[in-house]
Amino acid sequence: MKRFTSLGLKASAILFSSAVFFACSNEQDPGLEYAPDMYHSIPLDPYSQIKENKFNPGGMNMREPARGTVARGKEGYNLYLSVDTAEVAGVELKNPLPYSNENLAQGKVLYSRFCAPCHGPEGDGQGLVGQKFKGVPSYSAGRVAELPAGHIFHVITYGRGRMMPHGSQVNPTERWKIVMYVQQLQQGIVDVPAAGEQIEDEAGGEAITDNPVTGTPEDTPNKETPKN
C-alpha cells in the first residue's frame, strides 16, 4: 500500500512540474490565424507595417510627401525649412490665419488649456506649474518678447528645453491661433475684444485699433450713410 502511495505522489509531482514548465514556456505554438485578412489590411496602410512593401523605396508603406506640397488642413506649415530649427522657422514661417477677434478668442481658450498651467494666464510665467518648477519666462520680458510667430509655432510643435512638444495635442490651425494670442501677450494685452469691439490701452485709455502682431490697422465696419 505504501509503495502505491509513493508511486502516486511521484507521478503527481512529475505531472505538476511538467504542467508548470509548459505553462511558463515561451515555446508554445500560437496556432494559425483564422481569416487574417479581416484584421491585416490588404491595401497599403500608412500607419501599419505588416511586411515589407515591394513598391515603395525602403520597403515602408508611408512615404514623405512631395517636396513643396502642403497637406490639406495644415494651414501652410512648411515641412521643408531650409534648416529645421526654431530660429529659421522664425524667419521662414508666417502665420497664415487672418488676424481677427474670433481667432484671438479661440487662441485664448486653447492657451488657457495647454499653456496657462506653466506660462500663467497673463503670460508672466507664474502658472501653477511655473511657480512649482521655476524658470518659465515671461512673454513680455527680454528676448522672449521679440520672438516671431514662426519661432513660437516651432517651439509649440517640437518643444524646447524643459517644454515638451505639443504637436500631438493641438493641430497646426490651433497652434497658429495660440501663436496669435501669445503675440498679443508679448505686447502685455490680455483681454480679447468681442466682434466689433476695441481694446483700450491701460495707460492712456485710447482704443488700440492696430493689430499688435503685424502693426496694421484693423478693418472697420462701414458706417451707414444717412438717407436724404
**Secondary structure (DSSP) of 47-108:** T--SS--SSSGGG-S--PPPTT---TTSTT--S--SS-SHHHHHHH----SPP-HHHHHHHH
pLDDT higher at 194 or 130: 130
Give the pTM.
Answer: 0.58
Superfamily of domain 86-208: Cytochrome c-like domain (1.10.760.10)
pLDDT of residue 112: 92
Domain ranges, ordered by start, for the chain: 86-208
pLDDT of residue 57: 76
pLDDT of residue 82: 83
Region of 42 on the Ramachandran plot (φ > 0 left; ψ -120 to 50 alpha; else beta): alpha
